A and B are shown apart, each in its own frame.
Chain A
């Protein structure tokens, strides 16, 4: 039981490049989330997927797109990366049926030059 996994762990992009951050969970959770964490700050919600087949915007969705590929996987895409998107990205999952708290992955550290 690996919990929540994220790939890659680190990534450096040039302005304008695109990339997809991958997230998978093996806890059979219905809901999945993408957050970003900037230095000295708490996490801010980018997008979430309450259940397979649905996605919704969070607090800071601009510049991002998401895909809930199946129940296990939820990806975050940056179509045209900007320096303001330099951050640490965390994926999380949750199920009301099994837990009241979200479980987080180890994060992806992204630098946009």
Chain B
């Protein structure tokens, strides 16, 4: 079946540096993508989303890039802080009807002081 996967399971960066988390998706029909942050012992928390009619979307310290040609999604976090340490998941969906998200495996981001 179709699935969303991540290139790297773990990522460590120095506090203050920028981080990039990658995601590959395989369902070309997907037109809505979301990044979630999951802290230990908690449920996933929405970070940012992007629709397939966009290539880039920016939020506060976060940017999501979408490359539909190679079915690749990335999350950039600027000036990382200790509170950014978490597992990050990408998820995909086809808009319309019930929202049935397909999640990737996740990347654990560790911010080193």
Contacts and interface: CB of A to CB of B under 8 A. Distances in A.
Interface string A84-104: 000000101010100011111
Contacts of A45: 100-102
B45 A43 contact: no
Interface residues of B, number: 24
B3 to A, nearest CB: 9
A31 B103 contact: no
Interface residues of A, number: 25
Interface string A1-18: 000100000000000000
Interface string B95-113: 0011111111110000000
State the majority secondary structure of interface residues on B: loop
A101 B100 CA distance: 11
Contacts of B106: 40-42
Interface string B1-28: 1001000010000000000000000000
A45 B103 CA distance: 9
Nearest to B42: A106
B44 interface: yes
Interface in B69-89: 89
B44 A31 contact: no
Nearest to A54: B98
29 contacts: A31-B99, A40-B106, A41-B105, A41-B106, A42-B89, A42-B91, A42-B103, A43-B103, A45-B100, A48-B98, A50-B97, A50-B98, A56-B98, A59-B1, A90-B44, A92-B43, A94-B99, A100-B32, A100-B49, A101-B34, A101-B46, A102-B46, A102-B101, A104-B43, A105-B43, A106-B42, A106-B43, A107-B41, A107-B42
Given A48-B100, A56-B98, A102-B99, 14 more contacts: A40-B106, A42-B104, A43-B101, A44-B103, A45-B100, A45-B102, A48-B98, A50-B98, A58-B100, A59-B1, A94-B99, A100-B49, A105-B43, A107-B41
